[in-house]
Amino acid sequence: MTQAAEHPGRNSTSPGIGTPLNRIEGVAKVTGQARYAAEHPAEGLLYGVAVCAGIARGRIRYLDTAGALNTPGVVQVLTHENRPHVPWYEAAADDDDAAGNAKPPVPLLLDGAIMYSGQPIALVVAETFEAARRGAMQVEAAYDTLPHNTLLGSALAQRFTPAAKAQGNIVRGDAQAALDDAAARIDSRYELAMEHHNPMEMHATTVQWHGDGRLTVHDKNQGSQNAQRQLAQAFGLEPDSIMVANHHVGGAFGSGLRPGYQAYLAMLAALMLKRSVRVVMTRQQMFTHVHRPAATQEMRLACDTRGKLQAMEVIATTSTARIETYTENLVKWGAIAYPCDNLRLDYAVAPIDTPTPGNMRAPGAATGVNLLEMALDELAYANGMDPLALRLVNCSDVDGISGLPFTSKALKKTYETGAERFGWHRRSHEPRSMRNGMELSGWGMATGIWEALVLHASATATLDAQGILTVRSAASDIGTGTYTIMAQIAAGALGLPLERVRVEIGESPLPDSPFAGGSAMAASVGAAVHRACKGVARQLSELAGGPVGSNDMAKLAARAPGGHIEASATVDPPQEDGKARNTHSAVFAEVCVDERLGVIRVPRLLACVAAGRIINPKTARSQVLGGLVMGMGMALQEEALFDHRLGRIMNHNLAEYHVPCHADVHDMEVIFVDEPDGLASPLGVKGVGEIGIVGAAAAIANAVHHATGKRIRTLPITLDKLL
């Protein structure tokens, strides 16, 4: 997909890094020109609708598809009894982080076994979507049920530490002795409910059958090349025979790192029927896809009279599926941020009968840091300290686990800048001591930390005889602004106006790119684009025999062999250099609580972020704002509500699974502090996609305690917990 800046306006001169620019694909999106996975046409297109299991665990006794097959327009019903045989069904599940993003999921329609409520048991394929939906309603199934459990608390006795995460469990010093001798200590359990991604665009796949052994797969995912590899592996195809495209992605938040089950069902049907097929999840089926696992953290913290941490024990458990094991880096974050001599970190998982969890914005940190930051607030009060003062006492320039110095860490500056802007000095310490009219008022804060990743990435830059620069990479734009920052970096590298830059991304044959996750896209692909463009600049200088102005570039490119100038570049993760690389933030929140009704408002949220070099302050601010809003949902609204008797999520829609809406969001401010860092990545970029959510829920929860005097340790904090 080629995207250009069609309306240059303020972008008509070379913008360079650091300029706040509008998204170059924005007009295409708001006018409906941007096509998403379920909008690509195909000749003879068939439509598939998945039929899902109505029990949580057991086996299909019989499956009656006659009614569906007799429905006008229905072409076929795929089940475990008639589906094609492909290598996917030979894959053995293992317990070594089986839900990793680099391998296909456990096969669907494998046999009659049911492992979770909502598991697809059939795919009805028809000439129209309406016919497929009618046919799906005619499929009848009967089951032999087995005992099931969908409650994390009931599975804690079965918790185990996967081999892949065992090395992350650390014991250092003597935590018990330090706890016994400390000036202040807490011993509490904090919990987080299961959450679901719910991006605006539901997971969808359109498989275009070309009849010559080639397939084009338009799929909602966060990495076209990753999806291509997994689909080729699952179906025993040569990777080059599948072109995966994800030109536009309507939000993902981690749900598209591993292709959804609709992609595999669409591929199965296309291969069986030798036709183009489209499968789209319903909103209800999105709740049978990946999710953030439920979590519990037992924490014992202790400090001296100054607030310096003397002991930190974090014993965490997250839910995983019985069918596969999913793990997160949950317990390390606090120890990295706050060095402590006496440490015990213990992470394990407990199996329940649900779909496999998966990465959800800031996986591990969004859970582990937010729950720990709530406990630190509790410790500050136990020690009679201001919560910000306790964090300042424990702020360090080295990674508390590895002992390595950070490439940069402007966390103290975020504390100071954020506190000053928020007016933290006006906060009274005692809970229930501040009011806003008839409401109780509370102010809370928390720290955020995330990784500053650089992953393998490549890009190509081509300057043609018309003076148009085209940059290419298989990068994904999941709403984060990748199109725009690639254009911006390219324009700045060559001194070109933005309207002379074209960006091609979102196709698997393009130069290598990591998936869009971990806040690594700008630092990785951005650096490759910059290097490729500098390669073009060198060739121009050689042709000209000296410096080149933008007006001369087209003439020089026309003189080059082939009538254009092209350069490619690759960036790889940094070599071990004895440095730690992280992004940091300070989050401040104000809440107002109606004590009679238990209703909580969040009139103010402020995030002060240290994220290295900011390429585009406008899109970066949008990313942090989005993270803050998701943090608000984590703190106050989002949870999957099960009927545990049925093992089924009951609020599987956007009417009852509550996420923050416009009426919930009031004044939010994002401040980026100056943090030069030439070591974090080739461009000094750290990435901002995840840092906004880390610490946000804790800041709100801590503000609720300050307002009410009630320490709610289970997120979300709903009115029933306050009343």
CB-count exposure of residue 561 (10 Å: 0-12, 13-18, 19+): exposed
Q: Please, are residues 2 and 485 in contact by the beta-carbon 8 Å criterion?
A: no
State the Cα–Cα distance between residues 321 and 57, nearest whole angstrom.
12
690 in active site: yes
State the Cα–Cα distance between residues 694 and 624, nearest whole angstrom.
10
CA angle centred on 394, ends 389 and 400, rounded to 5° = 160
Q: Please, are residues 371 and 317 in contact by the beta-carbon 8 Å criterion?
A: no
Three-class DSSP category at 462: strand
- DSSP sequence for 257-295: SS--HHHHHHHHHHHHHTS-EEEE--TTGGGGS--BPPE
Note if the bond before 716 is cis, omega within 30 degrees. Answer: yes
For the record, the structure tokens of 119 come out as 């598991």
Looking at the DSSP assignment, which residues form a beta bridge with residue 52? 120
For the record, the structure tokens of 697 come out as 């829920």
For the record, the structure tokens of 10 come out as 């303020």
- The CA distances from residue 505 to 224, 281, 484, 683, in Å, are 10, 25, 11, 20
CA 164 to chain centre: 21
Q: Which of 373, 451, 638, 690 is catalytic?
A: 690
- The CA distances from residue 472 to 25, 165, 456, in Å, are 16, 36, 15
For the record, the structure tokens of 220 come out as 């909602």
Residues 6+ apart with CB under 8 A from 365: 329, 333, 448, 449, 450, 690, 694
The set of catalytic residues is 690
